Structure 1
Amino acid sequence: MANNNLFTPLQIRGLELKNRIVVSPMQQYSATDGLVNNWHLVHLGSRAVGGAALIITEATAVSPRGMNTPNDTGIWNDEQVNAWKNVVQFVHEQGAKIAVQLWHSGAKGSHSHPRDGMKYISAENGGWLPKSASPIKLDDTYHSEALSVEEIADIRSSFVNAAMRAVTAGFDSIELHAGHGYLFHQFYSSYVNRRDDEYGGSFERRIGLLVETVKQIRQVIPEDMPLFVRISAVDYLEDDDAWRIEDSVKLSRILKENGVDVITASAGGFVFLDKSRVYPSYQVPFAEKIKSETGIITGAVGAITSPEQANEIITSNKADLAVIAREFLRDPYFPLRAAAKLEKDIPVPFQYKRAF
Structure 2
Amino acid sequence: MPALEDPLDIGGVTLPNRLYRAPLLECAGNGPDAVDTLIEDLEPAAAAGAGLVCQGATVVRPEGGCAAPGMTRVSDPDFVAELSRLTDAVHAHGGKIAIQLEHGGLRSMETWHAGYREAHPGLQQLAVSRPPRLLRALDRAGFLSYDARVLSTDEVYDLAADFGRSAAYAVDAGYDAVHVAGANMGIVHQFLSPFYNRRDDEFGDGVRFLELLAAEVRERAGDVPLLTKVPAETEAPPVVRRRLSAADCVRTCQRLESAGYDALVPVNGSVFWDLSIVRGEFPGRSWRDDRFREGYAAAFGSRARAAVVAAANWVESLAYDFESAWNADLCGRVRRRVDVPVLCEGGVRERSTVDRLLSDGPAGRACDAVGMARPFYAEPRLPARLLGRGAAGARVACENCNNCVVPQAAGEPGVCRTPSVLRRTGALREQGAYERPDAADADAGGD
Q: Secondary structure at the match of 1:297?
A: coil
Match of 2:343 in 1: 299
| Same amino acid, percent of matched pairs | 22
Match of 1:286 in 2: 330
Q: Runs ≥4 in structure 1, deviation > 6 angstroms?
A: 343-346
Q: Secondary structure at the match of 1:341?
A: coil
Aligned residues of 2:195 and 2:271 also touching (Cα < 8 A): no
Alignment of 1:1-356 (within 5 A): 3-32=1-30, 36-64=34-62, 65-69=64-68, 71-111=70-110, 118-119=113-114, 121-122=116-117, 125-126=120-121, 128-136=123-131, 138=135, 139=138, 140-141=143-144, 143=146, 144-200=148-204, 205-223=205-223, 225-237=224-236, 238=238, 239-271=240-272, 272=274, 273=276, 274-275=316-317, 276-277=319-320, 278-316=322-360, 317-338=365-386, 339=388, 340-342=390-392, 347-352=438-443
CA distance in 2, matches of 1:142, 1:7: 48
CA distance in 1, matches of 2:372, 2:97: 14
Q: Select between 330-339 and 31-40 the one with higher mean Cα deviation.
A: 31-40
Aligned residues of 2:8 and 2:17 also touching (Cα < 8 A): yes
What's the CA shift for 1:332? 2.0
Q: Secondary structure at the match of 2:20?
A: strand
CA distance in 2, matches of 1:135, 1:85: 39
- Under a length normalisation based on structure 2, what TM-score does the superposition of the two structures give? 0.71
CA distance in 1, matches of 2:199, 2:57: 26
CA distance in 2, matches of 1:120, 1:270: 24
Aligned residues of 2:178 and 2:227 also touching (Cα < 8 A): yes
Residue 253 of structure 1 aligns to which amino acid in structure 2?
Answer: Q
What's the CA shift for 1:33? 5.7
Q: Select between 233-242 and 250-259 the one with higher mean Cα deviation.
A: 233-242
- Aligned-residue Cα RMSD (Å) equals 2.5
Q: Secondary structure at the match of 1:212?
A: helix
Whichever of the two has the greater Rg, that structure is: 2
Q: Select between 10-19 and 134-143 the one with higher mean Cα deviation.
A: 134-143
CA distance in 1, matches of 2:253, 2:437: 33
Aligned residues of 2:21 and 2:376 also touching (Cα < 8 A): yes
What's the CA shift for 1:199? 2.0
Aligned residues of 1:34 and 1:71 also touching (Cα < 8 A): no
* Residue-pair matches, total: 342
Aligned residues of 2:243 and 2:271 also touching (Cα < 8 A): no
What's the CA shift for 1:206? 2.3
Residue 327 of structure 1 aligns to which amino acid in structure 2?
Answer: P
CA distance in 2, matches of 1:51, 1:142: 44
**Structure 1: 5+ residue runs without aligned partners?**
none
Q: Go from structure 1 to structure 2 and tell me whether the alpha carbon gap of 1:85 and 1:123 turns closer, same or farther (over 3 Å shift).
A: same
Q: Could you give the per-residue CA deviations for residues 102-132 of structure 1, whole angstroms, max 9, x where no partner exists?
A: 11111111359xxxx9447336645611111
Residue 20 of structure 1 aligns to which amino acid in structure 2?
Answer: R
CA distance in 1, matches of 2:266, 2:372: 12
Q: Could you give the per-residue CA deviations for residues 135-169 of structure 1, whole angstroms, max 9, x where no partner exists?
A: 21534335233112222121011011111111111
Q: Go from structure 1 to structure 2 and tell me whether the alpha carbon gap of 1:91 and 1:269 turns closer, same or farther (over 3 Å shift).
A: farther
Residue 268 of structure 2 aligns to which amino acid in structure 1?
Answer: A
What's the CA shift for 1:84? 1.1
What's the CA shift for 1:34? 10
CA distance in 2, matches of 1:251, 1:6: 27
Q: Select between 86-95 and 300-309 the one with higher mean Cα deviation.
A: 300-309
CA distance in 2, matches of 1:50, 1:181: 31
Aligned residues of 1:262 and 1:297 also touching (Cα < 8 A): yes
Q: Secondary structure at the match of 1:37?
A: helix
Q: Go from structure 1 to structure 2 and tell me whether the alpha carbon gap of 1:45 and 1:350 turns closer, same or farther (over 3 Å shift).
A: closer
Q: Secondary structure at the match of 2:370?
A: strand
Q: Secondary structure at the match of 1:66?
A: coil
Q: Select between 122-131 and 304-313 the one with higher mean Cα deviation.
A: 122-131
What's the CA shift for 1:220? 3.1
Q: Secondary structure at the match of 2:181?
A: strand
Aligned residues of 2:58 and 2:100 also touching (Cα < 8 A): yes
CA distance in 1, matches of 2:190, 2:30: 27
Q: Select between 12-21 and 97-106 the one with higher mean Cα deviation.
A: 12-21
CA distance in 1, matches of 2:220, 2:74: 16
What's the CA shift for 1:196? 2.3
Aligned residues of 1:33 and 1:71 also touching (Cα < 8 A): no
Aligned residues of 2:164 and 2:216 also touching (Cα < 8 A): yes
- Under a length normalisation based on structure 1, what TM-score does the superposition of the two structures give? 0.88
Q: Go from structure 1 to structure 2 and tell me whether the alpha carbon gap of 1:127 and 1:325 turns closer, same or farther (over 3 Å shift).
A: farther
